[in-house]
Amino acid sequence: MTAPAIALDPQQKAARTAFEALRDRICAEFEAIEREAGSDACFEYTPWERPDETGMPGGGGVRGTIRGAVFEKAGVNVSTVSGQFNPEFAKTIHGAGDDPRFFATGISLVAHMANPHVPAVHMNLRFLTTTKRWFGGGADLNPPIPCKEDTDFFHAQLFKACDAHDPGDYAKFSKWADDYFWIPHRNVARGVGGIFYDHLEIDTEADFQAHLAFSQAVGDAFLKAFPAIVRKRMAQEFDEADRARMLEWRGRYAEFNLVYDRGTLFGLKTGGNIDAILMSLPPLATWS
């Protein structure tokens, strides 16, 4: 389940390896939850490749999806790609305005749940190289029916990860998530927040190790928080009104991802796999 091979330097290889290891842990945990619910659902993995702008290998990724009793639709994708941005898009990317060459590796996760009392969730972690090098990412909770206990628990795990990296990170990254995951045309938040960060720049090997460790800690925080919430809520009773509320909320989620999400745009602009890019969309949604 490794993306197609392209030449990697030691930092790029270390980041890719870390993201693939996190993918394996998350998928194993999601499958374990399905077993606890009496389901034999497993992830299905689809590798994909992309050419660069010259037609030579430009990397690719592996799309992992599961549809089960608890996870109505969840995707855990990893990708490692390189090439050149088109000139106009390059101007929007950190460090690519004067040199459009890039490298990117990352993990992207979205889970839409069968029970409306179980929140949907999103996580993305990435390492990019242009004329600069940096980490970015985050995780955020998206409940159709918010529960303060779950929201507080999720944020508490992310706070611990941030606080160990820099005591000022959580306040900054939490506000960044609130600002980023806002749906302007609806004047509502996409969910109950989390953290979002970008451009953690790398000037030294010590910077790389610190920011990689932080991104791994965010992944660990996700694994401490989200599966525990799922197990607590997955058997909770719900009615048709609850499901209708979830389907309408999913419509808002889809609107954000198609209109505003930078990750969606990045994937489309760099020749990524369309199914992997759009796996974030819910399996069913309604609009009034």
> Which active-site residues does the annotation give?
122
In DSSP terms, 49 is beta-bridged to: 60
Bridge partners (DSSP) of residue 74 are 66, 111
Rg (CA), the chain: 18
Instruction: Quote the longest CA-to-CA distance of the chain.
Output: 56
Q: Which residues contact 241 (CB under 8 A, 6 or more apart)?
A: none
Helices (H), 37-104: 87-90
**Helix segments in 140-239, DSSP class H:** 148-165, 169-180, 205-233
Dihedral angle over CA of 278, 27, 165, 82, nearest 10: -50
Angle at 193 between CA 117 and CA 81, to 5 degrees: 105
Q: Residue 70 is encoded by which pair of tokens?
A: 């608890």
Q: How many Cβ atoms sit within 10 Å of the Cβ of residue 179?
A: 11
Q: What are the residues whose beta carbons fall under 8 Å from the beta carbon of 54, sequence distance 6 or more?
A: none
Structure tokens at 48: 């994909």
Supply 191's token pair.
């969910």
| Angular region, 59: left φ>0, alpha ψ -120 to 50, beta rest | left
Per-residue burial over 148-159, b if 16 or more Cβ lie within 10 Å, else e, is: eebbebbbebbb
